[in-house]
Amino acid sequence: MSDIIIKGRKFTNAADAVAEWMKDPEFKAEYDALEEEFSLAEEFIKARLERKMSQAELAKKAGMQQEAIARLESFDSNPTRKTLSKVAKALDKKISLV
């Protein structure tokens, strides 16, 4: 790991930390179970950034609060299909749930 020490405090690179955690079978199983959620949130972030939109701009276009977009992008929500559709439409995207 490529740890960094700043003012006596040790910080670990996030990618290195995840790589270490993935060695734990229980952690890996939980992580893998959330892969679809991570993937969906990453796609929304990617689409928003490609359009050079802020969370606030996307929220306004989707008729939502900025905080709702932040929760969606940080995996801190359980969005409904309606919410996902509103955000996708605001990004000129379509979603399909299979």
- For residue 50, the domain's CATH number is 1.10.260.40
Indicate whether 45 belongs to any domain.
yes
Residue 5 lies in a domain: no
Q: Is residue 3 part of a domain?
A: no
93 within 8 A of 46, measured Cβ to Cβ = no
What pLDDT shows up at residue 61? 97
**What local confidence, expressed as pLDDT, does residue 10 receive?**
83
Domain presence at residue 59: yes
Assigned domain for 17 exists: yes
Q: Worst-scoring range by mean pLDDT, 4-13, 25-34, 47-56, 89-98? A: 4-13
**Is-contact 72 48, C-beta < 8 A?**
no
1 occurs within a structural domain:
no
Range of the domain at 18: 12-98
Confidence of residue 88 (pLDDT cuts 50, 70, 90): very high
pLDDT confidence of residue 96: 79
Overall number of domains in the chain: 1
Average pLDDT of the residues of the chain? 88
